[in-house]
């Protein structure tokens, strides 16, 4: 197919915003909300029907290749893979408006991991460089069924590095992504083009770093309504993603938009030492990471900002106090989103053979 089929969807001044055709197709589908929902219901209800199709066999193989490539890269760079916890008294609360799943653990309420972030910090204390490749459950609000980027059940590669800065973590993230894209392009480049019309071009890092304020200004220039100080809206993130030609970072989000574990810059109050890695072509967020807050007193105040009771997080706070100062940085990268990007899919629900889509049940 040669060049990917670029579609211009809007010209703002001199800038052109280009969405990948699959993203554009998703937009078209989601335009008719009822129709899209009944499509998703069918899709999830009878997933075995499409899971056997040639194109999805390729998708699953590409995903396996991506997982191999991630492990290959990390294992050769001093990381140790650790098996993740499945349940615990608390889990990652820093997930926009999504509900956690609970189980009855001998009379105690335990949570199913929405991410194992709280545990990877102490495994980084033990091993220095570590990662989990683990499933997560997040009962997302129903409107996230329309984004193409949210599943209630998904896998994520979550890594953490002791005595690292968020810049160190970003370097690992971009090298890791580059390695995966390169490997997949080598192994499946031709098939991806032939079967899915996807042409993958590995782009060498370093990728561009946009400070949060710059990203907001750029989103506004592109015509997206984005308040300064608030988390970047999905719509605006998609627009930024469509504007960029290669993966890029948005760094230093304002406090208030992120979980309590993203460290606030001590010399710049209100600025977090964190980042998102974003795919180009409108595919949106790839990874999210940060340097971790490790001062118990600051964490307690930040927990209150999310309306939380610090008593819930007692083991975590005790652990941080005993291992003080536990300076780490890391990130998590969603596997289905990566597969979606590599294969040029409409939604993450194409990257999972038994997708659990927010609000859609029953399914296999």
Q: Minimum distance from CB of 214 to other proteins (Å)? A: 19
Tokens 């032939």 map to which residue? Answer: 194
Closer residue to other proteins in complex, CB, 144/156: 144
Q: Residue 109: helix, strand or coil by DSSP?
A: strand
Closer residue to other proteins in complex, CB, 31/97: 97
Closer residue to other proteins in complex, CB, 157/216: 216
Cα 123–129–130 angle (5° rounding)? Answer: 55
Cα 321–323–326 angle (5° rounding)? Answer: 100
Distance CA 298, CA 342 (A): 39
Q: Where are the beta strands (DSSP E) in 175-294?
A: 208-211, 248-251, 274-279, 284-291
Helix (H) or strand (E) segment spanning residue 159: strand 153-162
Q: Minimum distance from CB of 147 to other proteins (Å)? A: 12
Count the Cβ atoms, other than its own, within 10 Å of residue 300.
14
Closer residue to other proteins in complex, CB, 111/198: 111
Distance CA 291, CA 161 (A): 9
CA 61 to chain centre: 21
Q: Minimum distance from CB of 67 to other proteins (Å)? A: 29
Q: Minimum distance from CB of 27 to other proteins (Å)? A: 19
Which alpha helices (H) appear in 143-208, and where do they start and end?
A: 166-191
Q: Where along the sequence are the contacts to other proteins (CB under 8 A)?
A: 96-100, 108-109, 139-143, 227, 229-231, 233, 254-257, 301-302, 304-309, 312, 358-359
Q: Minimum distance from CB of 325 to other proteins (Å)? A: 22
Distance CA 208, CA 53 (A): 37
Q: Minimum distance from CB of 255 to other proteins (Å)? A: 6
């Amino acid at each position: 197919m040669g060049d990917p089929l670029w579609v211009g969807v809007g010209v703002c001044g001199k800038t052109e915003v280009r969405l990948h055709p699959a993203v554009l197709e998703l937009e078209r589908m989601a335009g008719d909300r009822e129709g899209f929902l009944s499509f998703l219901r069918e899709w999830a209800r009878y997933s075995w029907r499409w899971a056997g199709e040639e194109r999805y066999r390729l998708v699953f193989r590409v995903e396996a290749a991506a997982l191999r490539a991630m492990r290959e890269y990390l294992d050769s760079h001093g990381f140790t893979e650790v098996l993740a916890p499945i349940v615990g008294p608390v889990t990652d609360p820093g997930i926009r408006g999504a509900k956690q799943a609970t189980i009855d653990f001998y009379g105690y309420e335990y949570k199913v991991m929405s991410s194992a972030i709280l545990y990877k910090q102490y495994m980084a204390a033990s091993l220095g460089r570590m990662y989990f490749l683990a499933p997560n459950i997040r009962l997302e609000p129903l409107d996230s069924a329309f984004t193409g980027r949210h599943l209630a059940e998904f896998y994520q590669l979550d890594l953490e590095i002791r005595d690292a800065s968020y810049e160190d973590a970003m370097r690992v993230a971009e090298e890791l992504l580059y390695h995966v894209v390169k490997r997949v392009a080598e192994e499946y480049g031709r098939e991806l083009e032939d079967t899915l019309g996807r042409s993958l071009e590995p782009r060498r890092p370093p990728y561009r770093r946009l400070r949060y304020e710059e990203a907001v200004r750029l989103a506004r220039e592109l015509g997206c309504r984005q308040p300064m100080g608030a988390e970047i809206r999905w719509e605006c993130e998609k627009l930024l993603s469509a504007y960029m030609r290669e993966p890029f970072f948005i760094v230093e989000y304002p406090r208030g938009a992120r979980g309590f574990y993203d460290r606030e810059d001590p010399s710049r109050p209100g600025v977090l030492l964190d980042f998102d890695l974003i795919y180009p072509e409108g595919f949106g967020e790839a990874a999210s990471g940060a340097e971790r807050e490790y001062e118990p007193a600051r964490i307690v105040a930040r927990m209150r900002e999310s309306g939380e009771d610090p008593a819930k997080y007692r083991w975590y706070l005790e652990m941080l106090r005993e291992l003080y100062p536990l300076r780490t940085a890391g990130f998590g990268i969603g596997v289905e989103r990566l597969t979606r990007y590599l294969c040029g899919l409409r939604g993450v629900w194409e990257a999972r053979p038994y997708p659990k889509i927010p609000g859609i049940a029953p399914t296999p």
